[in-house]
Each structure stands twice: as C-alpha cells, then as structure tokens.
Amino acid sequence: MPDTHHTARQGSATETPTRDLAQWVAEVPSTDFTDRPRRWAKHAILDWFGVTLAGATDPLVGILAGDALDAGEGGNARLVGRKEKVTPTIAAMINGAASHALDYDDVNKRLHGHPTVPVVPAILALAEQKGLAGRAVVDAFIVGYETECLIGEMMGMNHYDHGWHATATVGTFGAAAGCARLLGLDAGKSAMALGIAATQAAGLKSMFGTMCKPLHAGKSAMNGLMAARWAARGFTSRSDALECAQGFGTTQSTEFHGLPVRPDSAAPFAVEENLFKYHAACYLTHSSIEAIRELKQHHEFTADQVTRVRTLVDAGHRKVCDIPEPETGLQVKFSIRHCIAMALSGIDTGDREIYTDATAARPDLMALRRKVEVEDKVHDSRHAAEIVIDLADGRSLVQFFDVGVPADDLDAQEQRLIAKFHRLADPILGADKAKRIKDLVLGLDDAKDVGDLMATAG
C-alpha cells in the first residue's frame, strides 16, 4: 500500500515548482477534498488537540507564555490547555511548541518529520482571529499538509541527513500554504507567501534533546502565519524561492529536484498517509509493540509462558532505542526490550504516565526484558519489526508489523485516536470538556467557526 501511494505521486520533474505549488494552493477546489481526506484531516486535528493539551503543561510552554505576557503580548488568542491569552502570532508559536513537547505527535515519511504541528497552530490562530468556518480550516490543513510533503520529497533525504529538522524548515512552508489558503490568497500572493516562508525557514536537528526541538514546530507555525499575512498585504519575495539559484532547495539540499503537484489527481492526498503514534515511547519501538498487540489479539498466552522473544529490526534501532537495562522512565522510552516486556504484560504503552523509574525497576518486567533479543534484519521499511515469541508449551508465534504503513480502516483508527485523545486530555480538562472537543473536531466541517472549539480547549 505505501508503494501504491508512492507510485501515484511520481511524475516528471517541473522547472517551476514554486509557482505550480502556489497555483495549486490558491486554486484547488474545496470539492476535490472528498470525505476520506477530510476524515483523515480531522483525525490529525483531534490527535493534535490531545498531544497539545498534554504538552501544554511542559515547563517550556510556561516559559514561553510567561515571557509573552511580560513582553506585552497578551491578546485574544487562546493557548490550548492554558489560561493565558496572547496575540494570534504568539499563540501559533506557543501552541506549536506545546504540541511537539511530548514528541507524541504524528509523522509523515515524505516530510521526514512531524506534519501536523507546524500547520494546525497557525491555521487555528488565524481562523480564531478572523472567525473563519471549520470547513475552510480543514481545507487549509489538507493544503498545508500536501505542501510540506511535496517539498519534503523535493528536498530528498539529504536535507534531513545534513542536519536540518524538516519539521521546522519544511514545516514553515506548510504553515504558510495553509494560512495562504485560509486567507484566500491568489496564486501570485501564495507564491510570495512561500518565498517569505523560505527565507525564514530554520531549525537544527542537533537541538534534539533540548527545548528548542518543540520550539521549532512553534516557530514554523508563527513564521508561516506571518508570511501569509504579509503576502496578503503585498509584501514581496521571489516567486521561485524553492528552485532559484541559491534558493531554499539548493542551499539546503544536494538532492533538490522540482516535482509537480499531484500529477495523478485521483491519488490519495498526503494527509491520507499520516502516521499516528499510539505509544509514548521512541517511534522505533512501535512496530515491536504493535506486533505483540496483534499476537495477543489472535493467540491465547500470558507473559508467564514466554521463554524467549526475538525482535528482528533494522540495524539502526540499536543505536537509538536498545538500552538493555533501563533505570529511569526516560530510559524505558528508549529500551525496546523493556517496551516489549510491558506490551507482553498488558501494560498500556500509550499512557505517558507509565514511563517511570518504578516501571523500569519492576522485577517481573526486568525478568521478562532479559528474555528479549534484538537482532538485525533488513526490512523494506526501517520502522518495521518481526517478532518471534517462544512459549513454554512449545508454540512459536511470529508476527511482522510496520508502523510506517498508513491505516486502512478509518473507523478503527478513529476509535484508537479517540482513546488516545481521552487518555491525554481527560486529566487536563476533565472527561466532559474533552468529549466536547472531540465532538467539535470530528464535526469541524460543519462548524460556523472555531471559536467554541478554542474556548473549550483554552
């Protein structure tokens, strides 16, 4: 299925990718966004509210909000999960930082990053300020998302490998495109918005592990929002910012190549390959956990029966998440062995509160994790895992899982996302308010504006 997605998206190169993209941003009819991409979009927005509400309690968000109020940046725009209200520009930044604070937000492989966190904070802040309709917000999200993924693909893997945090850099274009759409800019002004975004795009991968990583998402949202607003007023940039000599493309990738926008208009939109995180641990543990989840659904066995577990994964996993004897909650998140032990024991790995020092020290989990072997295997996807479980009764269970494959069953996805959302949102807002947000987001296409939604969340 991911191959189908990919083939559909290939096309001959274009010499004018910025203008092509700007024209599409401005002119693609809303009616092209059928129920299926709209439903995917609402899933992503619902998930965004969950991770943002939970992330809003992070100290980094308090720093940004406190600074904004001291700097006179109070206003009417809501901060999700917080009491303060600030200007729309600053709200886009702070909500963006909050939504990436837990690193529990969604992923797209074409972007090589997190697609939702740069776009949603920008378009919500704009829609809230201008009183824009929910349907336009959904449209703008699909547009922004498509823009990021297309540019991510144009930049190639070299951009990320060279040290750029694509969520930050490419994300700026996503926010600008979404806001340009929401403001109804024409193709010429949309190209200006992309150009103004290009020259503000920044963010270093070497900042991972500091508060700057979540800040990147927020700054992208803010910079993209400003780019679109300024373009609307006639601020000038280049109309070929991606492909011009020493433009965004060649300054920041050795592989840049112009690509057409959706050469196959019947192909799925980029948002339809969004990958959600259901476990509050390193993404490279997810396929192993999901494979165990599958096995437990189809076979009767308990953790006591397990004599040996092998997980066959890309060699790169060892570098990132193979802490054999984790001692802290944070280390658990990067211990594929401990995560497997948790999954086998029926612990909810989607609960971010479970990643504690006490969990790391639980004797039954420690015994179980020592039965796990991590082995190298080349799969088609570097996120995939093959799990082999030997049981005391002689059975050997085998399951492959690749979290890099978008979901097929949207009903099932929705149920899982609602469960994740409530787990994150209920402790912050209470179950009633959380349910109201869930209903408002899933009904966003019919909302007169986003005022009620933002008031409930902020």
- On the 0-12 / 13-18 / 19+ scale of CB atoms within 10 A, 152 is buried
Task: Report if residue 78 touches a second copy, rule: CB under 8 A.
Answer: no
The least CB distance from residue 251 to a second copy, in Å, is: 4
Task: Report if residue 129 touches a second copy, rule: CB under 8 A.
Answer: yes
The least CB distance from residue 113 to a second copy, in Å, is: 15
- Which CB atom, from 79 or from 275, has the smaller least distance to a second copy? 79
User: 308 forms bridges with which residues in the sheet?
Assistant: 390
Q: In the numeric block, which tokens belong to residue 222?
A: 């803010």
Among 76, 158, 254, 307, binds a second copy (CB under 8 A): 76
Binding mask 165-184 for a second copy (x = CB under 8 A): ---x----------------
H/E stretch holding 306: strand 306-313
Among 21, 137, 198, 312, binds a second copy (CB under 8 A): 198
The least CB distance from residue 27 to a second copy, in Å, is: 23
Task: Report if residue 66 touches a second copy, rule: CB under 8 A.
Answer: yes
Task: Report if residue 67 touches a second copy, rule: CB under 8 A.
Answer: yes
Residues whose CB is less than 8 angstroms from the CB of residue 245 and which lie 6 or more positions away in sequence, other chains included: none
Task: Report if residue 313 touches a second copy, rule: CB under 8 A.
Answer: no
DSSP code for 247? S
Q: Which stretch binds a second copy (CB under 8 A): 6-14, 87-95, 278-286, 295-303?
A: 87-95
Residues whose CB is less than 8 angstroms from the CB of residue 328 and which lie 6 or more positions away in sequence, other chains included: 357, 360
- Which CB atom, from 235 or from 283, has the smaller least distance to a second copy? 235
Residues whose CB is less than 8 angstroms from the CB of residue 263 and which lie 6 or more positions away in sequence, other chains included: 9, 10, 11, 12
Task: Report if residue 8 touches a second copy, rule: CB under 8 A.
Answer: no
- Closest by CA to 309, choosing from 360, 345, 283, 267, is 345
- Closest by CA to 128, choosing from 117, 141, 137, 140, is 137
Q: How far is CA 445 from the centre of its chain?
A: 21
Rg, the chain, Cα only: 22
User: 313 forms bridges with which residues in the sheet?
Assistant: 376, 385
Task: Report if residue 40 touches a second copy, rule: CB under 8 A.
Answer: no
The least CB distance from residue 92 to a second copy, in Å, is: 10
Binding mask 88-107 for a second copy (x = CB under 8 A): xx------------------
The least CB distance from residue 89 to a second copy, in Å, is: 6
- Which CB atom, from 168 or from 280, has the smaller least distance to a second copy? 168
Among 215, 217, 261, 387, binds a second copy (CB under 8 A): 215
Task: Report if residue 57 touches a second copy, rule: CB under 8 A.
Answer: no
Among 21, 26, 46, 64, binds a second copy (CB under 8 A): 64
Binding-site size, a second copy (CB under 8 A): 55
Q: Sign (positive/negative) of CA torsion 202, 207, 208, 214?
A: negative
Q: Strand locations in 82-213, DSSP E?
A: 85-86
Interaction with a second copy in 230-259: which residues (CB under 8 A)?
A: 230, 233-238, 241, 244-248, 250-251
Whole-number Å distance between alpha carbons of 78 and 122: 12
For 453: left if phi > 0, alpha if psi spans -120 to 50, otherwise beta; the answer is alpha
What residues make contact with a second copy under the rule CB under 8 A?
A: 59-60, 63-64, 66-67, 71-73, 75-77, 87-89, 129, 162-164, 168, 195-196, 198-207, 210-212, 215-216, 219, 226, 229-230, 233-238, 241, 244-248, 250-251
